[in-house]
Structure 1
Amino acid sequence: MQKIYLVGAGIRGWEGFGSKALEVIGKADVLIGHQRHLDIFPDFAGEKQVLGELSAMLDFLKGTDKRVVVLGSGDPNFFGVARFLMRNLPKDRIEIFPNVTSVQYAFARIREPWDDAIFVSVHGRGLKGAIDRIIAAEKAAVLTDNVNTPAVIARELIKRGADGYDVYLCEDLGLPGEKFTRTDVRGLADLAASELNILIFIKTWEPNLEQYPLIGIADDEFATAKKLITKQEVRAITLAKLQLQDDLVMWDIGAGSASVSIEASNLMPNGRIFALEKNAQYLSFIRDNLKKFVARNVLLIEAFAPEGLDDLPDPDRVFIGGSGGMLEEIIEAVDRRLKPEGIIVINAVTLDTLTKAVEFLEDHGYTVEVTCVNIARTRGLTEYKMFEAHNPVYVIAATKGDE
Structure 2
Amino acid sequence: MTVVGIGADGWAGLTAAARDALTGAEVLIGGARQLVMAPTRACPGERVSWPSPLRPAVPRLLAQYAGRRIVVLASGDPMFYGIGRALSEEIGPDRLRILPHPSSVSYACARLGWPVEDTEVVTVVGRPLARLAAALHQGRRVLVLSAGSGSPGEIAALLRERGFGPSRMRVLEQLGSEDEAAYEGTADAWPHPPGDPLNVVAVDCRRAPGALRLGATPGLPDGAYEHDGQLTKRHVRAATLCALAPAPGELLWDVGGGSGSIGIEWMRTHPSCRAVSVERSPERAARITRNAAALGVPGLRVVTGAAPEALAGLPAPDAVFIGGGLTAPGLLDAVWAALPAGGRLVANTVTLESEALLARWYREHGGELVKLAVSHATAVGGFTGWRQAMPVTQWSVTKGAAGGEDAPVTTAQVTKEGV
TM-score higher than 0.5: yes
* Cα distance, 1:240 vs structure 2: 0.7
Secondary structure at the residue paired with 1:308? helix
Q: What residue number does 1:330 align with?
A: 331
* Cα distance, 1:323 vs structure 2: 0.8
Check the 8 A contact 2:377/2:385 in 1, yes or no.
yes
Matched to 1:32, the amino acid is: A
Alignment of 1:112-127 (within 5 A): 117=121
Unaligned runs of 5+ in 2: 30-34, 49-60, 109-115, 136-142, 148-196, 404-419
Q: Matched residues in 2 for 1:232 and 1:43: separation?
A: 63
Q: Matched residues in 2 for 1:323 and 1:310: separation?
A: 16
Secondary structure at the residue paired with 2:376? strand
TM superposition score normalised by structure 2: 0.54
Secondary structure at the residue paired with 1:230? coil
- Give the 3 Å change call, closer, same or farther, for CA 202–286 of structure 1 in structure 2: farther
Q: Matched residues in 1 for 2:268 and 2:24: separation?
A: 49
Q: What residue number does 2:347 align with?
A: 346
* Cα distance, 1:397 vs structure 2: 0.2
Are 1:355 and 2:356 an aligned pair?
Answer: yes
Quote the sequence identity (%): 22
Matched to 2:369, the amino acid is: V
* Cα distance, 1:325 vs structure 2: 3.0
Q: Aligned match of 1:16 in 11, 36, 43?
A: 11
- Give the 3 Å change call, closer, same or farther, for CA 314–141 of structure 1 in structure 2: farther
Secondary structure at the residue paired with 2:316? coil
Q: Matched residues in 2 for 1:5 and 1:324: separation?
A: 54
Q: Matched residues in 1 for 2:18 and 2:250: separation?
A: 49
- Give the 3 Å change call, closer, same or farther, for CA 75–223 of structure 1 in structure 2: closer
Q: Aligned match of 1:34 in 27, 49, 52?
A: 27
Check the 8 A contact 2:255/2:278 in 1, yes or no.
yes
Unaligned runs of 5+ in 1: 61-68, 108-113, 123-129, 143-197
Q: Matched residues in 2 for 1:6 and 1:330: separation?
A: 49
- Give the 3 Å change call, closer, same or farther, for CA 44–336 of structure 1 in structure 2: closer
Q: Aligned match of 1:252 in 246, 249, 254?
A: 254
Check the 8 A contact 2:289/2:298 in 1, yes or no.
no
* Cα distance, 1:284 vs structure 2: 5.9
Matched to 2:243, the amino acid is: K
Are 1:216 and 2:211 an aligned pair?
Answer: no
* Cα distance, 1:228 vs structure 2: 4.1
* Cα distance, 1:302 vs structure 2: 1.7
Q: Matched residues in 1 for 2:295 and 2:18: separation?
A: 56
* Cα distance, 1:359 vs structure 2: 2.4
* Cα distance, 1:6 vs structure 2: 8.1
Secondary structure at the residue paired with 2:252? strand
Secondary structure at the residue paired with 1:356? helix
Alignment of 1:174-253 (within 5 A): 210-214=212-216, 215-219=218-222, 222-225=225-228, 227-253=229-255
* Cα distance, 1:289 vs structure 2: 3.8
Q: What residue number does 1:305 align with?
A: 307
Count residues with an aligned counterpart.
306
* Cα distance, 1:337 vs structure 2: 1.8
* Cα distance, 1:320 vs structure 2: 0.7
Q: What residue number does 2:179 align with?
A: none
Larger radius of gyration: 1
Q: Matched residues in 2 for 1:99 and 1:375: separation?
A: 55
RMSD of equivalent CA atoms: 5.3
- Give the 3 Å change call, closer, same or farther, for CA 341–382 of structure 1 in structure 2: same
1:32-70 Cα offsets, whole Å, 9 max, x none, are: 352578x9565799x99x99679968xx9xxxxxxxx97
Q: Matched residues in 2 for 1:306 and 1:385: separation?
A: 45
Q: Matched residues in 2 for 1:261 and 1:231: separation?
A: 14
Check the 8 A contact 1:224/1:285 in 2, yes or no.
yes
* Cα distance, 1:280 vs structure 2: 5.6
Q: Aligned match of 2:298 in 288, 296, 299?
A: 296
Matched to 1:264, the amino acid is: W
